[in-house]
């Protein structure tokens, strides 16, 4: 008997079903700080396409009144909160609070009303107030962009999924140091934890929702008044 193919095994198990999305999304931008988007940084790389595509999503989100939340990794100057990163990824020592490396990439043009969640772990949900913030905003769906696909993006998506927040991941809006890691992470995320979509699909979804017109107690759109009402 021939061994079962990976595709057949996934189909038999029912992996990859689409999630049911809500009407009050938020965009979460994971770690697109200069420490990761500037190739001269010890842990940085060329993420110009990821930044450009994320900016496209942010422009639509801002036009539609959709909340945007940024994250950045920042450690104390004495590294008292760096944990095991210091031994596993020594280059992370560059990500010190108050330095340019923890600042959000200016190409994303973050607005003052758009919060930055400071984290020390891989997941944006670990040891932070992100989930509480999403609850306060009555968010029922997240669009996650950023870096790295196999690291902090993946960890964040898994934690959001476990917190029962459906997630869309625009594949062109996330990046990694190696295409193999990026592709494997996207495959796994789409199979188990999120819906992987294109940038265009993510933008189209944002244009179909009107969070300011939704009742946060029910997540249902409030009926719009017509000219005759």
Query: Model confidence at 136, in pLDDT bands (50, 70, 90)?
Result: very high
Q: Reply yes or no on whether the pLDDT at 220 is more than 50.
A: no
Query: Model confidence at 16, in pLDDT bands (50, 70, 90)?
Result: confident
**Architecture of the domain whose range is 21-209:** 3-Layer(aba) Sandwich (3.40)
* Domain spans, the chain: 21-209
Helices (H) and strands (E) in the chain, counts: 8, 9
Q: What is the pLDDT, as a whole number, of residue 210?
A: 65
For 174-215, write each residue's pLDDT tens digit: 999 999 999 999 999 999 999 999 999 999 999 998 665 554
Query: Model confidence at 11, in pLDDT bands (50, 70, 90)?
Result: confident
Query: Is 152 annotated in the active site?
Result: yes
Looking at 125, 152, 173, 203, which residue is catalytic? 152
* Mean of per-residue pLDDT scores for the chain: 90
For 82-111, write each residue's pLDDT tens digit: 999 999 999 999 999 999 999 999 999 999
Query: How many C-beta neighbours within 10 Å does residue 47 have?
Result: 24
Q: Who contacts 22 (Cβ-Cβ below 8 Å, separation ≥6)?
A: 139, 140, 141, 166, 219
- Break the chain down into helix, strand, coil percent, rounded to 5: 40, 15, 40
From CA 28, how far away is CA 61, in angstroms rounded? Answer: 11
């Amino acid at each position: 008997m021939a061994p079962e193919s990976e595709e057949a095994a996934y189909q038999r198990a029912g992996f990859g079903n689409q999630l049911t999305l809500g009407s009050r999304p938020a965009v979460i931008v994971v770690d697109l700080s200069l420490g990761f988007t500037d190739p001269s940084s010890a842990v940085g790389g060329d993420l110009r396409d990821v930044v450009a595509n994320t900016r496209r999503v942010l422009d639509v989100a801002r036009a539609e009144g959709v909340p945007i939340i940024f994250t950045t990794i920042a450690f104390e100057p004495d590294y008292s909160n760096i944990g095991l990163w210091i031994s596993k990824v020594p280059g992370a020592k560059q990500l010190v609070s108050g330095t340019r490396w923890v600042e959000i990439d200016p190409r994303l043009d973050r607005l003052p009303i758009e919060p930055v969640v400071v984290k020390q772990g891989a997941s944006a949900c670990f040891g932070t107030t992100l989930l509480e913030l999403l609850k306060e905003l009555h968010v029922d769906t997240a669009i996650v962009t950023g870096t790295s696909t196999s690291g902090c993006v993946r960890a964040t998506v898994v934690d959001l999924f476990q917190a029962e927040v459906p997630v869309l991941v625009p594949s062109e809006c996330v990046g990694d140091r190696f295409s193999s890691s990026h592709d494997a992470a996207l495959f796994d995320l789409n199979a188990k934890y999120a819906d992987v979509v294109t940038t265009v699909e993510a933008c189209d979804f944002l244009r179909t929702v009107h969070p300011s017109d939704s009742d946060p107690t029910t997540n249902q759109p409030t009926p719009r008044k017509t000219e005759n009402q």
